[in-house]
Each structure stands twice: as C-alpha cells, then as structure tokens.
Homo-oligomer: A and B are copies of this chain.
Amino acid sequence: MAPMFELLKRDAHTKARLGRLTTPRGVIDTPAFMPVGTQGTVKALDPRELREAGAQIILGNTYHLNIRPGMDIIRAAGGLHRFMGWDGPILTDSGGFQVFSLAKIRKIKPHGVEFRSHVDGTLLFLGPKEAMEIQQALGSDIAMVFDDCPPHTSTPREVQAAVERTIRWAQECRAQPRAPAQLVFGIVQGGAHAPLREQCARAVTALGFDGYAIGGVSVGEPESEMMKAVEMTEPFLPSGQPRYAMGLGTPAQLAEMVARGVDMFDCVLPTRMARNGTAFTRKGTVIMKAAFNKTDFRPIEEGCDCFACRHFTRAYLRHLLNVDEILGVRMLSVHNVRLFLKLMLDIRTALAAGTFAELHRQIVANYVPSRKVLSARQNGVAR
C-alpha cells in the first residue's frame, strides 16, 4: 500500500507543497480544501453535488453530532459515513473549538471541559477520552485531538496554560483506541507567541501523530497575526506529514497559507456566505440580491464550470434569493464550494507545473476581500 502521505513536489520559490494523502476511503490531493458538514451534511448540498464540485474529503463536527442526533443513533447507523450517505474520507474535529467558543458556562477540569449544550442546556463533559471515543464511533478517517483553543484576546499566561493543557490532552488522546485505519492529527496552539508555538509544536510532534494542525488561527485575530502564527509553527512540523490550518479562510488567505507550507484547509465561509446571499468569485464577493444583477443574464462567474454557472444566471439567482426560494441558497452553495475546490485544483496544477509563485501572486492581487466576509470569518465560529 502507498504510504499514508506522499510529498510529491516542493515549490522552488515558496514553502508550498504538492502532496497526496491516501486513506482506505479515497485519495486526497493536497493542498486540499474540506467543505464543512457540521451536523452531518454540508449545508444545502447533497453528496452527489459535493462529488461533482470535486470534494475529496469533508469535515464533520464531534461537538454538534454528539448533541444531535447523538451517538446512539450514529452507532446504530454504522458510523457517520453510512448515516450521511458519504462514502469518501471524513475528517472530524474533536469538539474542543466548539466547547470553547459555542458552549455556555464551561468549567475546565484536568481531563476535559464541563459545559452546557448550546441547544438545550444539558450538562455535558468533553475531554480527550470522550472526544476520541466519539470520533472512534463516528468512524472518521482522520480524527483530531482535543485541544484548548483560547481566544485571541487571551493574556500570554492564559495562552501558556492553554498550551500546557493542549500538550497534556494530546498525550491522553494519543493513548486512546481508534477506529480501524483511523488517522489522528495533533494540534499546535500558542497564539501569537513564537516561543509557545515552538514549545507546543515540539511537544506535540514528539508524540508522533499522522499529521499536524495549526490551531488558534481564524479566531478573530487580524490577518497578519494569522499569517505569523503559521510562520512561527511551520518550521517545527515534520515535512513528511500533512499540515492543516484549521478554519481558514478566504481564497486569497488559502493561497497565502499554501505558500507558507500548509496542505489542508476547512472553512464554513463558502456555505455560510451562500446562505447570506453572497457568491465568491476569484476577484472577491458579490451580493447576489444587488440591483445590478437584476437583468444580468451572465453566470455568477464567467468560465466557472459549476452546476449553478452552467444552468443559471445572476438575474435568476437574484430573483430566487429575493423570494426566499431554497434553490437560490442551494445554487450559491454549489458555486462557492466549487470555487474553493477549483482554487485548490488550480493551485495543485500550478505546483505540478512549477508556476505556483505566479498563480499565488495573481490570486492575492486579484482578490479584494469584502468587509462582510472578513467579519463573518472573524466572528469566532468560522469553523
């Protein structure tokens, strides 16, 4: 069998890498974007649409799935893949991020966090042991360790405590049983502090995981800090394993992160912005309800090969959104997800051809981020 992760090529001008992650349920070409299926579905899309958009792996949320439908039902279904009808690879997060960002009245304890469900207030407990047990039952192809993700406004002392907890909990996760063939990725915290990032990266990589995530990014910090956090961490991650920047980002940010040596991404932006009536293009975002689309019979983006752009016009999608028809949100979701996946495909093609540096410049120069997107990303639950 092929090794789990193959590093196929390194870019000559940046830290970008072309790779391939092989799992029993399928190959993931990297750099890869993972659409987010929080509650057992990538919002508004069905599995066929995901495949057509080019998705090779999707993400599921331990925190949400554990609350609804609950693990008794997913266990009875035979795992998350069978439950949701997606037979490709799934990465599950550990729930740590949601516990720290979404749940109310939480109490950090030595082996996890006591919190109240954001749905009905039920008292719940999630720690390394529980998170790994749930992910084992979900049967995801890649499980994430349970970490402590502090807000970007934390004091250095608080970040230090979060790093120590993250390392201890990573050890506990490492010792837990896994689902058959399940990979487990460690997570590096440390905020905007280079020594803490290094300390955490050294300690977590020493535990020997199958890949490593850079956590504590996209939690409301300015973009420059986000880039620095990745730059501080990347040198301490083993080059032979995949690197995953959690909860990112805009198309331009993804290109920037690839140039900094990151291989995997997930973000709710494509589907969340679709539900706000916003379409992504390579040049920025478009408010589809805007009056200038009234009689614009072009597709969302000229040249896009997505189902929405092949069948529908801006004028039609504007109408659907105006009258609250589900097909409007559906088609923006199809387009946005395809745009992110096509961006990664173009990046991989450029890496193979040795032209990534030029593509990287183009993507970043052409993309004008909107305030709306940046604020959606910075609301702290952007993953």
Binding site for B on A (CB under 8 A): 39-41, 43-48, 68-69, 72-73, 76-77, 83-85, 294-295, 297, 307, 311-313, 315-316, 318-320, 322-323, 325-327, 329-331
Nearest CB on B from A92, distance (A): 16
Given the known interface contacts A83-B316, A85-B316, A315-B83, the answer about A323 and B76 at a Cβ–Cβ threshold of 8 Å is no
Nearest CB on B from A80, distance (A): 10
Nearest CB on B from A66, distance (A): 13
Inter-chain CA distance A331–B311, complex, in Å, is: 21
Q: Which of B295, B311, B329 contacts A85 (CB under 8 A)?
A: B311
Question: Are A68 and B319 touching (Cβ within 8 A)?
Answer: yes
Nearest CB on B from A320, distance (A): 6
Inter-chain CA distance A44–B44, complex, in Å, is: 10
Nearest CB on B from A270, distance (A): 14
Q: Which of B41, B47, B73, B307 contacts A325 (CB under 8 A)?
A: B41
Question: Are B43 and A319 touching (Cβ within 8 A)?
Answer: no
Q: Which of B45, B85, B319, B325 contacts A312 (CB under 8 A)?
A: B85
Q: Give the 9 A-B CB pairs with smallest separation, nearest first.
A: A69-B319, A44-B326, A85-B311, A41-B327, A76-B295, A39-B323, A41-B325, A68-B323, A85-B312
Question: Are A40 and B326 touching (Cβ within 8 A)?
Answer: no
Count of chain copies: 2
Question: Are B73 and A40 touching (Cβ within 8 A)?
Answer: no
- The residues of B that contact A329 with a CB separation of less than 8 Å are 326
Query: In the complex, what residue of chain B is closest to A271 when comparing beta carbons?
Result: B326
Question: Are A69 and B315 touching (Cβ within 8 A)?
Answer: yes
Nearest CB on B from A61, distance (A): 11
Query: In the complex, what residue of chain B is closest to A323 when comparing beta carbons?
Result: B39
- A sample of 21 cross-chain residue pairs with beta-carbon separation below 8 angstroms, ordered by A number, consists of A39-B320, A40-B319, A40-B320, A40-B325, A41-B327, A43-B327, A44-B326, A45-B327, A46-B311, A46-B331, A47-B311, A48-B307, A68-B322, A69-B322, A73-B319, A76-B297, A77-B297, A83-B315, A326-B326, A326-B329, A326-B330
Nearest CB on B from A125, distance (A): 22
Question: Are B315 and A43 touching (Cβ within 8 A)?
Answer: no
- The residues of B that contact A48 with a CB separation of less than 8 Å are 307
Query: In the complex, what residue of chain B is closest to A294 when comparing beta carbons?
Result: B73
Question: Are A39 and B325 touching (Cβ within 8 A)?
Answer: yes
Nearest CB on B from A81, distance (A): 12
Nearest CB on B from A334, distance (A): 9
Inter-chain CA distance A68–B46, complex, in Å, is: 28
Inter-chain CA distance A336–B327, complex, in Å, is: 17
Inter-chain CA distance A222–B319, complex, in Å, is: 37
Inter-chain CA distance A311–B84, complex, in Å, is: 9
- The residues of B that contact A46 with a CB separation of less than 8 Å are 307, 311, 327, 330-331
Nearest CB on B from A122, distance (A): 15
- The residues of B that contact A323 with a CB separation of less than 8 Å are 39, 68
Nearest CB on B from A50, distance (A): 11
Inter-chain CA distance A68–B307, complex, in Å, is: 24
- The residues of B that contact A325 with a CB separation of less than 8 Å are 39-41, 43
Inter-chain CA distance A283–B45, complex, in Å, is: 30
Question: Are B39 and A73 touching (Cβ within 8 A)?
Answer: no
Given the known interface contacts A44-B326, A297-B77, A326-B326, the answer about A316 and B84 at a Cβ–Cβ threshold of 8 Å is yes
- The residues of B that contact A294 with a CB separation of less than 8 Å are 69, 73
Inter-chain CA distance A326–B275, complex, in Å, is: 11
